[in-house]
Amino acid sequence: MATDALNSRKAAAVAALAVAGISLTSIPAAAHTGAGIRRPASPGADVRVAAAPGVPELPDGLSARSWMVSDADTGDILAAKAPHRRLPPASTLKTLFAVTALPKFPAGSVREVSAEDLEGVGDGSSLVGVEEGERYRVADLWRGVFLRSGNDAVHVLASMNGGWDATAQEMQKTARKLGARDTTVKSPDGYDTPGQLSSAYDLTVFARAGLANPDFAQYCATASARFPTRDGVTQIVNTNRMLAGSHGLTPYPGIIGVKNGYTTHAGNTLIAAARRDGRTLLVTVMNPRSGEYNAVYKEAGSLLDWGFESVGKARPIDALRTVRSAPEGRTAIAPESRAVRRPLATGTRGTTGTITTVTAKADRGTSKNSATALWSGGVGALALALAGTLAWRRHGRRRGGPPEGDA
């Protein structure tokens, strides 16, 4: 019995050391202060970017409260500032609305708009001009959502989807299926609502999932389109200035979407995707604080420039949570033991690439300091060590600024 007790204590000690070693070495590099990680002082102490030969310094003048640069094909995160910081998303949340509802209705189906469809459109909302009693194709409504960020079009589509509250609940479920844990949906159109929050990480996940749908990719890449009115048609222009090339900006080289937003509470928000030399990058920027005109677009553009110079050189700091397409256009977490390849639609020209999901687990503590990470790792190690000891014993017994988008 004494020998058994001694063996049990030895096994527990070995298990604790082994698990602690695994836990500590699994802490993301940013939790350590060793060489190889560059933490630029100017953008803020919560910036993470891996140093590697040939990787340029991050651009100057980054004032956003949160941002992230990622490779849409591989899911690699190249650099980020507080990517899990929960902030109001404004109309960038419409990407989640589209991922949730767009696959359900044929583009050519027609909806006659009722008064009930337009109930509850918030004061000051951006509108595309949907009118009660008129008939609209679903494709026209989606163009109203993506180009003009029309909350009136969102309300009609949400009515088709079972109602406003039901759509918000379904969007919340979709976010969780995609592995987006920072998002709380209160209003499907992104209108300022108490408690409605998302993050640069989650918005990037939504955009990446959306770009795998050719219809989503085509809508978000459209710079201008014709929209029906009672008097005929009118021309609508995308409020994404980086795409449309408006308000003193030229279209960003290789731009393929995705969505911009603005509310008083959220400030300016933007998810931008661009493709060059066979690489598709995603940049999400939330609430620049510089006050500079077109700040959200300029900061996104500079981050895209940095990303294209760095991709293939920078060691990823993290990876987007693994996702794959599921039946009826829905999405789900893919098994971590498998890599899944799926087509990445890239806009109106019909060119395609691929999204390769990755097996690395997402770091949900990127903005936490090393002490917190070490403490959490220690607790996890202890719990696993105790579990290992119990299993060993059982085994032994068995054996014996100004608006820059929309509102």
CA dist., res. 127 & res. 104, Å (int) = 23
CA dist., res. 279 & res. 134, Å (int) = 42
Beta strands in 220-306 (DSSP E): 224-229, 232-237, 255-263, 267-276, 279-286
The strand pair at 110-112 and 135-137 is best described as antiparallel
DSSP labels for 206-228? Answer: HHHHHHTSHHHHHHHT--EEEEE
Please choose, from the candidates 161, 203, 167, 158, the residue with its C-alpha nearest in 3D space to the C-alpha of residue 183: 203
Q: How far is CA 371 from the centre of its chain?
A: 27
Instruction: Kindly list the catalytic residues.
Output: 91, 94, 149
- The CA dihedral of 172, 175, 181, 187, to the nearest 10 degrees, is -40
* 263 contacts 256 by C-beta, under 8 angstroms: no
* 190 contacts 263 by C-beta, under 8 angstroms: yes
- What DSSP state is assigned to residue 251? P
164-177 and 151-160 helices, crossing angle to 10°: 90
User: What are the b/e assignments for 133-155, b being 16+ CB within 10 Å?
Assistant: eeebbbbbbbbbbbbbbbbbbbb
* 83 contacts 68 by C-beta, under 8 angstroms: yes
